[in-house]
Amino acid sequence: MAAMPTVTDVALAAGVSRQTVSNVMNSPGIVRADTRERVEAAIAKLGYRPHASARRLRTRRSSTIGIRLDPMIDGISGSVLDRFLHALTEQADRLGLRVLLFTATSPEDEITQLQRLNDGADVDGFVLTSTFAGDPRTEWLIENGISFVTFGRPWGTNDMNDPQHLWVDVDGWAGLHQATRAAQETGARRIGYIGWPSPSGTGEDRRRGWRDAMLERGDVTENDLAALEVVTVDGVAEGTAAMQELRRSAGVLDAVLCASDSLALGAMIANPDRVPVTGYDNTPIAAAIGLSSVDQSVEEVAAGVLELLTGEFGGHVSGAPESDEPRHRMVTPRLVVREFAAIPMDESA
């Protein structure tokens, strides 16, 4: 409550000028050692903290990144974004960055919010989640020259290497490839897959991981694969229905892989033969139910996002864009294998 001391107070106490105090905080290297110590002592004694807004006004940098808090459709898979948000906040903090939230009701509304935060100099850049093909947000941000990184690769017409679009993503192909391999190693041959309908880039990516691993091993033909696959939108009830359909179409099943934990949980419900089910996202539900699942390392994703983002606005704005360093990061997920199902369920439907 006592009025916070300012640089001037510190300067007075240390017998130096304002600027020297500022230098001690921002470029300690150029201050002589003994002077620096004296200033640091004064800072500690007075309990000085730089006034964030004053600094931002002068430096024209907010040291804040904006991120939209998604409405959390599902609540199961949604938890990945929560974990990501947590990891991001934590790591941003270590870099002296703050995380500012906002919400929006539609992509158009979101653009309005992006503009508001950017124009008000509230943020230096944005982190976008849940990207989709033809995403108007990224387009707008690029047009306006605003820094951003997406969690999720650009799914449009091969703009994966657009140098203006920085992104971090998890290699869903590798995740399902690995999960399929792991199942094969336990002796499974007929491995089913419950995935998402085609327009979803993420879904297609995961699906190919399964397909490729299946074909590589050569136990099944292209034709067999069709019967081993069911496509449905995400959800627990949908997973149950898909599992029932899969059991009809596939006959014998040695294992089932799902594009999400929601689907996997649903599949478990219609699983009287106790076929091993593997989910995706390693949500708390998977842990609680004892489901194997593919874990997206949100920490790695967060680290990548921050690296790219700070490189963008922290880096020297002018000059060559150091074109040799990669403009994206692909994180390899990790299969978490769990003892199968402490939860036998049998079905009536």
Partner DNA sequence: AAAAAAGATTTGATCGATCAAATAAATTCA
Partner DNA sequence: TGAATTTATTTGATCGATCAAATCTTTTTT
Q: Which residues bind its own copies (CB under 8 A)?
A: 1, 4, 47, 49-54, 56-57, 62, 64, 69, 71-72, 74-76, 78-79, 82-83, 85-86, 89-90, 93, 98-103, 116, 119-122, 144-145, 235-237, 240, 262, 265-266, 269, 283-285, 287-289, 342-349
Contact partner, 32, from its own copies, DNA, none, Cβ < 5-8 Å per class: DNA
The answer to whether 314 contacts DNA (rule: CB under 7 A) is no
> Could you report how far apart the first and last alpha carbons of the chain are, in Å?
65
Contact partner, 140, from DNA, its own copies, none, Cβ < 5-8 Å per class: none
Choose between 6 and 113: whose C-beta lies nearer to DNA: 6
Burial pattern 183-210, b for ≥16 Cβ within 10 A else e, equals bbeeebebbbbbbbeeebbbbbbbbebb
CB of residue 146 to its own copies, shortest distance in Å: 8
Report, in angstroms and rounded to the nearest whole number, the Rg of the chain calculated over CA atoms.
25
Segment lying near DNA (by CB under 7 A), choices 10-18, 79-87, 129-137, 228-236: 10-18
Contact partner, 344, from DNA, its own copies, none, Cβ < 5-8 Å per class: its own copies
Choose between 23 and 240: whose C-beta lies nearer to its own copies: 240
CB of residue 187 to its own copies, shortest distance in Å: 23
Q: Spell out, one character per residue from 16 to 45, where the chain touches DNA: x when CB under 7 A holds, - when not.
A: xxxxxxxx-xx---xxx--xx---------
CB of residue 13 to DNA, shortest distance in Å: 12
CB 260 within 8 A of CB 280: yes
Could you give the C-alpha distances from 341 to 199, 269, 275, 291, in angstroms and in order?
A: 32, 11, 10, 6
Q: Which long-range contacts (CB under 8 A, 24 or more apart) does 124-127 make?
A: 124/61, 124/62, 124/63, 124/64, 124/65, 124/313, 125/65, 125/66, 125/149, 125/309, 125/312, 125/313, 126/65, 126/66, 126/67, 127/65, 127/66, 127/67, 127/88, 127/151, 127/305, 127/309
Distance CA 172, CA 228 (A): 19
**Residue in this structure with the two tokens 């059991």, named with its chain if needed:** 247
Which amino acid is residue 233, in one-letter code?
V
Distance CA 33, CA 55 (A): 24
Contacting DNA within 48-67 (CB under 7 A): 48-51, 54-55, 57-60
Strand pairing class (277-280; 255-258): parallel
Tokens representing 78? 């949604």
The answer to whether 332 contacts DNA (rule: CB under 7 A) is no
Contact partner, 23, from DNA, its own copies, none, Cβ < 5-8 Å per class: DNA
Choose between 30 and 287: whose C-beta lies nearer to its own copies: 287
Contact partner, 311, from its own copies, DNA, none, Cβ < 5-8 Å per class: none
CB 125 within 8 A of CB 61: no
Strand pairing class (277-280; 292-295): parallel
Segment lying near DNA (by CB under 7 A), choices 4-12, 160-168, 193-201, 247-255: 4-12
The answer to whether 95 contacts DNA (rule: CB under 7 A) is no
Choose between 30 and 345: whose C-beta lies nearer to its own copies: 345
Binding residues for DNA (CB under 7 A): 3-4, 6-8, 15-23, 25-26, 30-32, 35-36, 48-51, 54-55, 57-60
